[in-house]
Amino acid sequence: MAPTTIDLRSDTVTRPTPAMREAMMAAPLGDDVLGDEPTVQALEAKVAALLGKDAALFVPSGTMANQLAIRAVCEHGDEIVAHRDSHIIQYETGAPAALSGCMIASLEGPGGLFEPSQVRAAIRPKDQHAPVSRMLVLENTHNKGGGTVWPVERLSAVAAEGRACGLHVHIDGARLMNACVAAGVAPTAFTSSVDSVSLCFSKGLGAPVGSALAGSTALIQRARRFRKMFGGAMRQSGILAAAAIHALDHHVARLADDHANARRLAHLVAGIPGISLEGAPDAIPTNMVFFTVAPALGSSQEFCARLARHGVAAIGMGTSRVRMVTHLDVTAADIDRAGAAIAAAARGA
Ligand SMILES: *Cc1c(COP(=O)(O)O)cnc(C)c1O
């Protein structure tokens, strides 16, 4: 890709800033598997406090954080309740089935959200014929749903219903800090009503690698064992944890800039013939902009290929849907250039 490309494929594309690289260079290191990695331990304590849980575990990816929660909670044959568009169903390579032997009961609802009554309705009878309903997974922000933020009250109500039904409630919080900044609340507003939370440092927070799982001491002990089994236990991983600590200290409040840039992009895209923005420009919830391209403009892949020649990278999701994600390596001026490029690509240029 040309160095001048404005990369809106994902907020995972961010490169560590010079200050983050310095923090990584300066980090005291040990061996985390042998239990003496000071920087990893500092990160895990920081994340546990941030999310209001007993303990946390540093892991290589958000997928591993979610899958460790599932593996630590579920037995083979158990059922998980989750939205049909959730990351654990759509983008984790069937891992709940492959790694934990679980089925998933999928729910529908606008933006990746659903209601307490839907959770209740998905619970299996306690009968020898039925799988055991074991776990509920909520995604906040919801990626495929449009970067949606769960209203705090609604998430609490759904989580309470899940717990009343005997489920372990997990938040896939890959972009939980985006949700917090957008809603103007502390993470505990979302996490106090659930049992476990995953959080990615490698998305909008701008760290190169890494995620965390937080929960009770017992859950994290089990997850630590399965992290070893899944091959995710790391050694001098403090060099990565240092980047995550730096991200939490310096890159949370600025997520508001990404959200403003997403709205700016949405305003530019909204008026372009042949392009239908999902939602009103001022209602873009976080850092993701989704639109569909008219059939005359080709498939979303063809449209993105044309766009790439104008120096903008985006991902086609489905036949006509395009996703663009803002992040800390994209400025408002880049957004204006991207808007012009999208208009040109929509003219067939
Ligand atoms: C990115 C993401 C993950 C984890 O992805 P990894 O690439 O494995 O780090 C999990 N859930 C959601 C909603 C995501 O967007």
Among the candidates 250, 267, 298, a domain finishes at 250
In a domain, 35, yes or no: yes
Q: Residue 179: its pLDDT value, please?
A: 98
* 228 and 165 together in one domain: yes
* 222 and 99 together in one domain: yes
* 115 and 214 together in one domain: yes
* 202 and 273 together in one domain: no
* 233 and 294 together in one domain: no
Which of 10, 141, 198, 200 has most ligand 1 atoms within 8 Å of its beta carbon, as the pocket-test mutant?
200
**Ligand 1 center from residue 128 Cα (angstroms):** 35
We report the CATH number of the domain holding residue 173 as: 3.40.640.10
**Structural domain span for residue 193:** 18-250
* 158 and 62 together in one domain: yes
**Ligand 1 center from residue 63 Cα (angstroms):** 6
Q: Counting beta carbons within 10 angstroms of the beta carbon of residue 229, is it exposed (0 to 12), middle (13 to 18) or buried (19 or more)?
A: exposed
In a domain, 326, yes or no: yes
Domain total of the chain? 2
Rg (CA), the chain: 20
313 touches 330 (CB < 8 A):
no
In a domain, 3, yes or no: no
Among the candidates 226, 250, 274, a domain finishes at 250
**Ligand 1 center from residue 124 Cα (angstroms):** 28
Sheet holding 315-317, edge to edge: 275-277, 288-293, 321-325, 315-317
We report the CATH number of the domain holding residue 338 as: 3.90.1150.10
Which of 9, 13, 87, 315 has most ligand 1 atoms within 8 Å of its beta carbon, as the pocket-test mutant?
87
**Ligand 1 center from residue 62 Cα (angstroms):** 5
* 292 and 246 together in one domain: no
> Which of 65, 215, 217, 198 has the alpha carbon at shortest distance from 140?
198
**Ligand 1 center from residue 129 Cα (angstroms):** 34
* 240 and 325 together in one domain: no
Q: Residue 4: its pLDDT value, please?
A: 75
* 110 and 179 together in one domain: yes
* 237 and 133 together in one domain: yes
Q: Residue 1: its pLDDT value, please?
A: 47
- The residues lining ligand 1, judged by C-beta closer than 6 Å to any ligand atom, are 61-63, 66, 87, 139, 143, 172, 174, 200, 202-203, 211
Mean pLDDT, contiguous 10-residue spans, the chain (349 residues): 80 97 98 98 98 98 98 98 98 98 98 98 97 98 98 98 98 98 98 98 98 98 98 98 98 98 97 95 97 96 96 94 97 97 93
* 158 and 65 together in one domain: yes
* 92 and 190 together in one domain: yes
**Ligand 1 center from residue 12 Cα (angstroms):** 9
Q: Whose CA is nearest to atom 14 of ligand 1?
A: 174
Atom of ligand 1 nearest to the CA of 203: 1
The alpha carbon of 169 is separated from its chain's Cα centroid by a whole number of angstroms, namely 16
